[in-house]
A and B are shown apart, each in its own frame.
Chain A
Amino acid sequence: MSAIDAGALNARELRSADRRHRLFLFGSGLPALLLVLVTFVLPIGWLFWLSLFDADGQLTIQNYTRLLEPIYVLTFVQTFKIAVIVTVVCVLIGYPYAYFMTKGPHWLASLAMGVLLVSLWTSLLVRTYAWLIILQRRGMANDLLMALGITDVPLSLVHNLTGTVIGMVHIMLPFMILPLYAAMKSIDPIYNQAAAAFGASPARAFRDVFLPLSLPGLAAGATLVFVITLGFYVTPALLGGGKVQMISMRIESDVSMYANWGAASSLGVVLLIATLLMLFIVKKGAGFSRRSE
């Protein structure tokens, strides 16, 4: 770079113009950088700091050792179990839905997108209460199931794991479908044509070409759903009816019932680390599957 003689025609001026340009780029990014530092990095550091003190302000690791008690271990297991179930169900419903939006007739695809967006724009609380009404003992869901003769007695669909999962899947579906849809839309149909031209049946072309090319979108959607579900509070609290315990609820009770910030913080820290670990594994796995294909 410095091979150019500083005395060459306009060399000094051009170099300083270059420097000014880089300074401008750095300067224009600085406010956002500071905002992130103040609103994300500092609170997380603060959270970690708090987790090292007990209710009396004494330095301790008791907040973490406490998490090894069965009740907390069970909560963690249940939280991850729910997140896995919700993610899997979202994949099973979301993939065909996104595929339909990508390949289906235009007007139906627009309708499908409209339904999805209206649901996304409706308040989370409204949707959760709506499920509470639909799923209750004499609600629409049970009426329908009984009218269809699928069941004779009303099923308990709410205030348990079933209701929690149904509600969370509904809330989470847009986060699954939108990244998937974006990924599917960007797959050039020419690849399927090429596969067909070389002898692949539509099913084979889907398996060999479309599915692997849509995997990054699937990974993005699944990660989003999984991570948000891990920290979900409102919907499981209302639809679980106290029978479903997730980490977010333990945090809430630690803070509002016992004012034990240290205990709540340690839960937050462990949840964060577990989430990061999951993201890391998914990223590794996605990279591996892309290479091995």
Chain B
Amino acid sequence: MSVDHKLSMSIDIENLTKTYSGFAALDDVSLSIKSGEFLSLLGSSGSGKTTLLMALAGFVRPDAGSIRFGGREMIFEPPHKRDVGMMFQSYALFPHMNVFQNVAYPLKLRGYKRAEIRQRVEQALATVELDHLIERGITEMSGGQRQRIALARAIVFEPKILLMDEPLSALDKRLRETMQLELRRLHERLGMTVVYVTHDQREALTMSDRIAVMSKGKIRQVDTPLNLYERPANRFIAEFVGESSCLPVSVEGGQIHFQGRALRTASQASGLQQPSLVVRPEKLQFVTSDAADFNLLQGHVSDVIFQGESQLVQVDLGEGMAVAIRRPTRSSSDNRLPVRGEAVTLGLHVQDTLVVGEQA
């Protein structure tokens, strides 16, 4: 990723707090976003991710804290003086303006000359491959086209910071996945700092340099997609990112036990409160009971679910615990799938054996 500091700006958020009648939407949030970084705010609804984005845009006035763009304090600036690009969830394209007028609007406000506006709008629309629709009305556009026009409008004045509020959530799955890759490429090409709000963890994993996971107004972990998935800081992150089962384990003399057996782990697990074993479906495999380098889990098959590209086998481990194991659907699959009720032994590789605590 090329980081040209003329094209982007760092964002520093410090001790940001916002309370709505006793409910903390932002609870002492601090976060540093590097210049040129693509950072996603990931969380369920009510986690504070949108409030944080709106505070960056200037639409939410925090109770306390600091927001700096490129080192400059912004907390007192009204929205129209923050000079950021913005993409709204509903796109917020002006219905009384056509495609050209919508995309030209930020340039018009910045006092560009007529000819330059024309040229830049055409260029921005070409970037999103809609230059042939320049004189059309907004109401004639499909959802996917509106999304692209909103994107063109957000980038047409080459903002150093681009804020995006779930811009793909209204699109169908296939279009959404295409746009994720396109937005990623666009970011690589234009190099601005992007703050991207989403509740879709797969989207966040696909696009981001780093992801900040939020819940209850706090940032729970900030990390690269890979680390977030493979090294979750706590049980909340482990359950929120990816499919996983968290199984309670006991610690006796620094040794972790599960189902009466000692677990071998890659990471240090001492000192964790209420430790849990994190088991993800794709990490498991069917093994014989003497497999080396594997921790073994014993159980009975409770269900086999066909999901297209893979099959999910649900295994009851007893004592109210269950895990799932995912297998690709290949006709040449090495061994047959077990049937319901069958006793199975599952292997979890030592390197994939992850134990997390309740809190970081």
By a beta-carbon cutoff of 8 Å, the part of chain A in contact with chain B is 188, 190-191, 193-202, 204-205, 208-209, 212-213, 290, 293
**Whole-angstrom CA separation of A193 from B57 in the bound complex:** 10
Contact B92 A194 (CB under 8 A): yes
Contact A208 B105 (CB under 8 A): yes
18 additional contacts, CB 8 Å, given A198-B86, A201-B80? A188-B92, A191-B94, A193-B59, A193-B92, A194-B88, A194-B92, A196-B58, A197-B59, A197-B79, A197-B86, A199-B81, A199-B106, A199-B109, A199-B110, A200-B80, A208-B105, A212-B96, A213-B96
Within 8 A of A (CB), among B242-267: none
CB-defined contacts of A290 to chain B, threshold 8 Å: 96
CB-defined contacts of B97 to chain A, threshold 8 Å: 293
CB-defined contacts of A195 to chain B, threshold 8 Å: 94, 105
Contact B94 A196 (CB under 8 A): no
**Whole-angstrom CA separation of A213 from B92 in the bound complex:** 13
The SS class assigned to the A binding surface is: helix
* Distance in Å: Cβ of B173 to nearest Cβ of chain A: 25
Contact A196 B80 (CB under 8 A): yes
CB-defined contacts of A212 to chain B, threshold 8 Å: 96
Contact B105 A198 (CB under 8 A): yes
* Distance in Å: Cβ of B177 to nearest Cβ of chain A: 26
Smallest CB gap from B95: residue in A: A213
| Interface assignment of B83: CB less than 8 Å from any CB of chain A | yes
Smallest CB gap from A213: residue in B: B96
A-B contact pairs, 6 of them (CB 8 A): A190-B90, A191-B95, A194-B88, A197-B59, A197-B80, A204-B109
**Whole-angstrom CA separation of A193 from B84 in the bound complex:** 13
CB-defined contacts of A205 to chain B, threshold 8 Å: 80
Smallest CB gap from B102: residue in A: A194
CB-defined contacts of A196 to chain B, threshold 8 Å: 58-59, 78-80
Question: Which 4 pairs from chain A and chain B are nearest by CB?
Answer: A194-B92, A197-B86, A198-B106, A196-B79
CB-defined contacts of A209 to chain B, threshold 8 Å: 94, 96
* Distance in Å: Cβ of B54 to nearest Cβ of chain A: 9
CB-defined contacts of A188 to chain B, threshold 8 Å: 90, 92
Within 8 A of A (CB), among B90-142: 90, 92-97, 101, 105-106, 109-110
**Whole-angstrom CA separation of A198 from B57 in the bound complex:** 10
Smallest CB gap from A209: residue in B: B94
* Distance in Å: Cβ of B117 to nearest Cβ of chain A: 13
**Whole-angstrom CA separation of A190 from B91 in the bound complex:** 9
Known contacts A197-B57, A197-B86, A293-B97: does B106 contact A191 (CB below 8 Å)? no
Smallest CB gap from A193: residue in B: B59
CB-defined contacts of B349 to chain A, threshold 8 Å: none
* Distance in Å: Cβ of B21 to nearest Cβ of chain A: 15
A198 contacts which of B58, B95, B109 (Cβ < 8 Å)?
B109
| Interface assignment of B153: CB less than 8 Å from any CB of chain A | yes
Contact A194 B86 (CB under 8 A): yes
CB-defined contacts of A197 to chain B, threshold 8 Å: 57, 59, 79-80, 84, 86, 163
**Whole-angstrom CA separation of A38 from B106 in the bound complex:** 56
Smallest CB gap from B159: residue in A: A198
* Distance in Å: Cβ of A243 to nearest Cβ of chain B: 44
**Whole-angstrom CA separation of A246 from B155 in the bound complex:** 58
CB-defined contacts of A194 to chain B, threshold 8 Å: 86, 88, 92-94
Contact A190 B88 (CB under 8 A): yes
CB-defined contacts of B157 to chain A, threshold 8 Å: 198
Smallest CB gap from B84: residue in A: A197
CB-defined contacts of B59 to chain A, threshold 8 Å: 193, 196-197
